[in-house]
Amino acid sequence: MHTILLVEDEWMYRNAVKRALKDEGHHFLEADGGRKALEMVGSNAVDLVLLDLVMPDMDGFAFLKELRLNADWQRIPVCVMTAWADGAKRRKAIDLGADDFVGKPVDNIELETRIKSLLRLSQYQQQLSDLNAELEAKVKERTHYLQAALEELEQAWEQSTRDALTGVFNRRFMWEWLLPQLQQAAREQIPLVCLMMDIDGFKQINDSYGHDMGDEVLTGFTQIAVKCLRGSDIIVRYGGDEFVVLLPKCNLEGGRAVAERVRESVVSSQLSSLKIGGVTCSIGVALYDPKDPLTGTELLKQADRALYEAKNAGRNCVAVSERPIRDDK
């Protein structure tokens, strides 16, 4: 059963309409002017409005204007009852939000069929809007789920690239950036420097003070090294107490200076006051010269050889490897 609001100041017309639709089983609300009709729309679930245009209180046009201002009422179908000949009034009513017309005086079949079709259209609209709401809820839920999955993935990726103890990049991740960095240096013809750093006598620290103290030294050492680097530099835990650092856009002198800064910072740091004697490190420096480029493996080998030289020179020092190592020689 549908509720139809009949807005008409003449009771004779209201009765004629009700008579015309008596077999349809509708429930009728009646208003003799626009103001009362608005009140009724506000307090009843109205499925359709049958509207006269000329009324003494608030006329049909003013009613339409008010009705369509309210978002909750915008989809209530409104069928205007007017003389067919009155084209200007019909156009104005449509512009104000009316949906259809029936002629006056009322033709029973005309009225019945127009109301049927308007109610059907309104029902379809409602179904469409319910489906839309359902779809929106699903999209929202799916977006939420995908966002959570993405965050989890990002977190997993971040974890898989990091060393669990020190938080710097791990060796597996090193190859992800090493080759692109070398390619960029070659493309831009700007040198870069690779440092290989290793804590001196670390085994002894572990043996004498325990593994936990060893871990503390590793973490402390990493923090000191990071403070000596630029944001664009990359540090990797290469193995136990060995770290690789890549300094993009840096020449040999710059690289040596950074290595010296790390070495000195470690010597004068809190690490040395861990009551385990002085902690020191040795650092090997290797240059990637885009005019005479090395492969990633060659660069690492060269930095490793420089580190070996620093260890041989008595540790707690920086050594530079000037002679490139070639894999094919």
Q: Which does 233 bind (CB under 5 to 8 A by kind): Mg ion, ligand GH3, none?
A: none
Sheet of strand 169-170: strand arrangement: 169-170, 234-239, 242-247, 192-199, 281-288, 318-321
Q: For 102, what's the count of Cα atoms within 13 Å in the CB-facing half-sphere?
A: 24
Q: Which does 270 bind (CB under 5 to 8 A by kind): Mg ion, ligand GH3, none?
A: none
How many other C-beta atoms lie within 10 A of the C-beta of residue 93?
22
Number of shown-chain residues binding Mg ion (CB under 5 A): 4
Amino acid identity of 5? L
Annotated catalytic residue, options 241, 292, 304, 328: 241
Q: Is 9 a catalytic residue?
A: no
**Which of 20, 106, 94, 26 lies closest to 64 in space, CA to CA?**
94
Least separation in angstroms between CB 282 and Mg ion: 8
Q: Which does 211 bind (CB under 5 to 8 A by kind): Mg ion, ligand GH3, none?
A: ligand GH3
198 near ligand GH3, rule: CB under 6 A: yes
Site for ligand GH3 in 34-93 (CB under 6 A): none
Q: Which does 87 bind (CB under 5 to 8 A by kind): ligand GH3, Mg ion, none?
A: none
Least separation in angstroms between CB 253 and ligand GH3: 26
Least separation in angstroms between CB 309 and ligand GH3: 12
**Which of 294, 100, 308 lies closest to 196 in space, CA to CA?**
308
Classified as helix, coil or strand, 2 is coil
Site for Mg ion in 195-214 (CB under 5 A): 198-199, 202
**Strand ranges, E, within 155-299:** 169-170, 192-199, 234-239, 242-247, 281-288
Residue from the set 211, 227, 230, 326 that interacts with ligand GH3 by CB under 6 A? 211
- b/e map 218-241, b = 16+ CB within 10 Å: bebbbbbbbebbeeebbbbbbeeb
101 near Mg ion, rule: CB under 5 A: no
Site for ligand GH3 in 94-133 (CB under 6 A): none
Residue from the set 200, 263, 285, 287 that interacts with ligand GH3 by CB under 6 A? 200
Q: Specify the pairing of strand 281-288 against strand 234-239.
A: unpaired
304 near Mg ion, rule: CB under 5 A: no
Quote the tokens at residue 204: 């002894």
The answer to whether the CB of 47 falls within 8 A of the CB of 27 is no
284 near ligand GH3, rule: CB under 6 A: no
Kindly tell me which of 166 and 321 has the beta carbon lying closer to ligand GH3. 166
203 near ligand GH3, rule: CB under 6 A: yes
Classified as helix, coil or strand, 58 is coil
As to burial, measured by CB atoms within 10 angstroms (0-12 exposed, 13-18 middle, 19+ buried), residue 286 is buried
Residue from the set 241, 244, 246, 263 that interacts with ligand GH3 by CB under 6 A? 241
Least separation in angstroms between CB 203 and Mg ion: 7
**Would you please indicate which residues are annotated as catalytic (active-site) residues?**
241
Binding site for ligand GH3 (CB under 6 A): 165, 198-204, 206, 211, 214-215, 218, 240-241, 311, 315
Binding site for Mg ion (CB under 5 A): 198-199, 202, 241
